[in-house]
C-alpha cells in the first residue's frame, strides 16, 4: 500500500471508530506513533498540548500534521478528509433516520455499552500520556522527569484552592508556558 493510501486508511479508521470526539482519537494516534514513522510519541504529546490550547479537535490537528509531514500539502488535506469523512457519513445517516434511532432500545443499549469502552480508552490514553510527559526522556527511556513532575504537582495543588479553580484555563497554559521557558523543561 502506498504511503498516501496507508495514511488515509489509518486516519479513516480513526475517524470511523473514535466515538466520543477528540480525546477518543488519542489511543488510535498512540498506536500510529508506535507503528509508523509519521510522528513520535513526543510529537503526539506536544500536539495534544498544542491542540488543547488552539481551536480544533486533537485528531483533526494530528491528521493534518502527520499528513503534511509525510506527504506535504496533499497528505495534510487528504489525511484530514479521511478522518472526517466517516463522521460526516454517520451524521448524515443518523440525521436521516433520527426519529427511529432515538427510541430504539437496541441503539440505546449499544450506546450504554459504548460509553464505558470510550471512557476506558480515554483513561488508558491519559495514563500513557502521563508516562510520556512525566517519565519518558527524549529517547523514550522511562525515568522520572523531575521538573515536569514538580510542575504537575504544583499546578495540581494550586487547583485545589477555590479561588484558583476559577482561573481561566488559558491562564494555566500561560503559567505552564512561562515555567517551561524559565526553567527549560
Dihedral, CA of residue 147, residue 150, residue 51 and residue 30, to nearest 10? 80
pLDDT of residue 133: 83
As a whole number of angstroms, the distance between CA 119 and CA 88 comes to: 23
Cβ 71 vs Cβ 6: under 8 Å: no
pLDDT of residue 71: 92
pLDDT digit string, tens, across residues 22-56: 777 888 888 999 899 998 888 888 887 777 666 66
pLDDT of residue 142: 80
Cβ neighbours for 80, distance < 8 A, ≥ 6 positions apart: 11, 60, 63, 64, 67
- 9 pLDDT band, cuts 50/70/90, is very high
Amino acid at each position: 500500500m502506498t504511503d498516501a493510501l496507508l495514511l488515509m486508511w489509518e486516519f479513516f479508521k480513526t475517524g470511523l471508530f473514535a466515538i466520543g470526539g477528540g480525546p477518543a482519537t488519542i489511543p488510535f494516534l498512540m498506536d500510529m506513533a508506535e507503528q509508523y514513522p509519521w510522528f513520535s510519541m513526543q510529537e503526539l504529546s506536544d500536539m495534544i498540548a498544542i491542540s488543547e490550547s488552539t481551536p480544533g479537535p486533537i485528531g483533526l490537528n494530528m491528521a493534518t500534521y502527520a499528513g503534511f509531514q509525510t506527504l506535504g500539502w496533499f497528505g495534510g488535506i487528504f489525511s484530514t478528509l479521511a478522518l472526517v469523512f466517516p463522521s460526516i457519513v454517520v451524521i448524515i445517516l443518523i440525521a436521516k433516520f433520527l426519529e427511529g434511532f432515538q427510541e430504539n432500545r437496541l441503539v440505546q443499549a449499544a450506546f450504554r455499552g459504548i460509553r464505558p469502552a470510550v471512557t476506558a480508552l480515554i483513561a488508558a490514553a491519559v495514563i500513557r500520556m502521563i508516562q510520556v510527559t512525566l517519565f519518558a526522556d527524549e529517547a523514550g527511556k522511562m525515568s522520572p522527569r523531575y521538573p515536569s513532575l514538580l510542575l504537575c504537582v504544583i499546578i495540581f495543588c494550586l487547583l485545589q484552592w477555590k479561588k484558583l479553580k476559577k482561573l481561566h484555563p488559558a491562564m494555566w497554559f500561560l503559567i505552564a508556558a512561562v515555567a517551561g521557558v524559565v526553567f527549560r523543561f
